Amino acid sequence: MLEVKDLVVAYGKVKAVKGTSLTVEKRQVVSLLGTNGAGKTTTLRTISGLLRPESGEIWFEGERIDKTPAHQVVIKGLAHSPEGRRIFPKLTVEDNLLLGAFARKDTAGIATDLDRVFALFDILKERRTQPAGTFSGGEQQMLAIGRAMLSRPRLLMLDEPSMGLSPLMMQKIMSTIRALQAEGVTILLVEQNAAAALRLSDRAYVLEVGSITLEGTGQQLLGDDRVKRAYLGED
């Protein structure tokens, strides 16, 4: 579904991503692990069209998209829930969600997808008219995921969805990822909680200083001694 080939992304003279290649198959959850500054967010921002690569290629469903504007990437079926949530605090919950459907004209379908988000996150339904800035971090994360879902993506990229959340709220987000996969949504996940991410993942990659250093199934990386030491806190 998604293929990234030899991706190089630079900020000025500093290369943040150095020849990264990865693939995501339809209906998979694929995780991208790494420490801060490894290039994970840069990779997602480049796939979604917010950054332009210096070289390399990005293919989505057989079409090359590395020169496609970000709003057109969304229209093609690839949505990005960014690190830090980036909700609009003065707008209501419902208006934030509807911004995710900015390119859609199917009013009935939008209403159906809004109900789908409310079914997943009942707190959003209860407080749909409330300004989003009054929400807790976990509630804002639900809102950010819901907004991305309103574009009806076939591939959803989630950047650090559990960052700063309580263990209970983190479990809710992880359960939501599994529910979305069951509905047929493909997911590319960047997540600081490596153990939780790998347990969810069909496949995973480890990114270090802009380069892929390990790849395999989620279970394979859970059992890898290097991953245990670096990301799971095990000796």
pLDDT per residue, tens digit, the chain (235 aa), is 999 999 999 999 999 999 999 999 999 999 999 988 899 999 999 999 999 999 999 999 999 999 999 999 999 999 999 887 788 999 999 999 999 998 888 999 999 999 999 988 888 999 999 998 888 888 888 899 999 999 999 999 999 888 877 888 888 888 889 988 998 999 999 998 899 999 999 999 999 999 999 999 999 999 999 998 888 776 6
Confirm or reject CATH 1.10.150.50 for domain 2-231, answering yes or no: no
pTM equals 0.90
Angle CA 64–70–72, to nearest 5: 65
* Parallel, antiparallel or unpaired: strands 29-33 and 203-208: parallel
Residue 84 is which amino acid?
Answer: G
CB 72 within 8 A of CB 49: yes
- Alpha-carbon torsion 128, 132, 134, 138, what sign? positive
* Token pair for 26: 């339809």
CB 43 within 8 A of CB 207: yes
Between the two ends of the chain, the Cα-to-Cα distance in Å is 36
CB 229 within 8 A of CB 56: no
Residue 152 is which amino acid?
Answer: R
The C-alpha atoms of residue 129 and residue 78 are separated, in whole angstroms, by 28
Residue 9's φ and ψ, nearest 5 degrees, are -130, 130
Q: Which residue has the tokens 């969600």?
A: 97
